Amino acid sequence: MILLCHRYPRVRKGMADAFYTSLITFDDVIENGEEVMSILENTVWEDPNDIEELRAKRNSICDLVGVSKPKLVGGKKAAPKPASNDQFDSYSDLVGRAGY
């Protein structure tokens, strides 16, 4: 479900298509399958400007399916990797040792 609000529109669209196909294939798994399929096919998942609306639709799908909603985590960026003085860490060293 989290991929329905991925930052890349093609990933969102691919997830929506795959989920829709799964619902068609296994139509008796979810009670509200028709309603979920309606949301999936009527939503423009490739819209890059309206992520809040997409989150609302994804959350309504989660409610219909009975899955907990993903939580937005205000993550902190990973600390930069400390510079290493190891001679084998650089690409230029590898190219130089290979003789190019």
- SS3 for 26-94 is CCCCCCCHHHHHHHHHHCCCCCCCCHHHHHHHHHHHHHHHCCCCCCCCCCCCCCCCCCCCCCCCCHHHH
Question: For 75-96, what is each residue's pLDDT tens digit?
Answer: 655 556 666 666 666 777 777 7
pLDDT band at 10 (very low <50, low <70, confident <90, very high): very high
Return the SS3 of 100. coil
Contacts of 32 (CB under 8 A, 6+ apart): 64, 65
Question: Quick one: average pLDDT of 34-60?
Answer: 90
* C-beta of residue 61 within 8 angstroms of C-beta of residue 48: no
